[in-house]
Amino acid sequence: MSLTTIVGIAALRARLDAERASGRTVGFVPTMGYLHAGHASLMARARGETDVVIVSIFVNPLQFAPSEDLAAYPRDLAADTALAEAEGVDVLFVPTETEMYPDGVVRTNVSVAQVSAGLEASTRPTHFDGVATVVAKLLAIVGTCRAYFGEKDFQQIAVVRRMVRDLSLPVEVVACPTLRDPDGLALSSRNIYLLPAERAAAPVLHAALLAGRMAIDAGEVNPAKVRALVADLINAEPLAHLDYAEVVDAETLQAVDPLVGELRLLAAARFGKARLIDNIAAGS
């Protein structure tokens, strides 16, 4: 089956309703475009587990703060289409902003308490309301499906999982491992902003998180010591400007003291124009 590009919500619903009526399952990969190998891995996972794979490309204005440049977000629809086609995607959903928000004003806001607080929200307080609102809308449009998200945006997955559970949406959220370059840097559309020296420095994020996990594996249960270890390693890189380094419960994203159970180490830092995030699992 060849790739079909759809712009309209009604047309997409009609296509997917027909697919499900014929007994076919739907896999959905929501993105903001500028696709890379990390996105391709989500498409491949969906291709292997479902009958019809849909990828959405929509740069959502609701999740950009006034200080963030929405217009500067990288876009390349031709390259995105080629990548999706190469991965065997069936439908590329590329709605306009007018199609998604016809009135130009969104009066309904989806907010997920607790898991959307702290971490990314500390510097981007409106971000996850924008994410939850657009993802709820996209899932309502797509309908019953398996939805695939990359673990690099771990807090986003926690927000979406809680929203899906609380709203009883007919969706299975599938978290997929972060893809990395050989030196450990997590693949991200924002890596394009890194200058050569910044690109060389950026793997310090992953290296610091690994050091934190090694400390936990060695028996460290004091969260302050683990946070300090990760932060100190990142701060030792002159081109890195730390936003946060945290260790939290992997499900609730709340602080844990002492460190027991399933944990997640997360960090964010700026390297020039690029703000990068990363995380890894830790604990039992």
List the domain boundaries for the chain: 4-176, 189-278
Q: Are 167 and 248 in contact (CB under 8 A)?
A: no
**pLDDT at residue 234 greater than cutoff 80:** yes
- For residue 13, which amino acid is it? R
Give me the mean pLDDT over the 223-249 stretch: 98
CATH of region 4-176: 3.40.50.620
Q: Using CA atoms, how far apart are residues 151 and 104, in angstroms rounded to an integer?
A: 31
3-class state of residue 78 by DSSP: helix
Fold of 189-278: Pantoate--beta-alanine Ligase; Chain: A,domain 2 (3.30.1300)
Element (H, E) at 271: strand 262-271
At 9-50, the pLDDT tens digits run 999 999 999 999 999 999 999 999 999 999 999 999 999 999
Binned at pLDDT 50, 70 and 90, residue 124 comes out as confident
Given pLDDT bands bounded at 50, 70 and 90, which one contains residue 131? very high
**Residues 36, 39, 127, 206: which is the catalytic one?**
39
Q: Look up 206 and say whether it is catalytic.
A: no
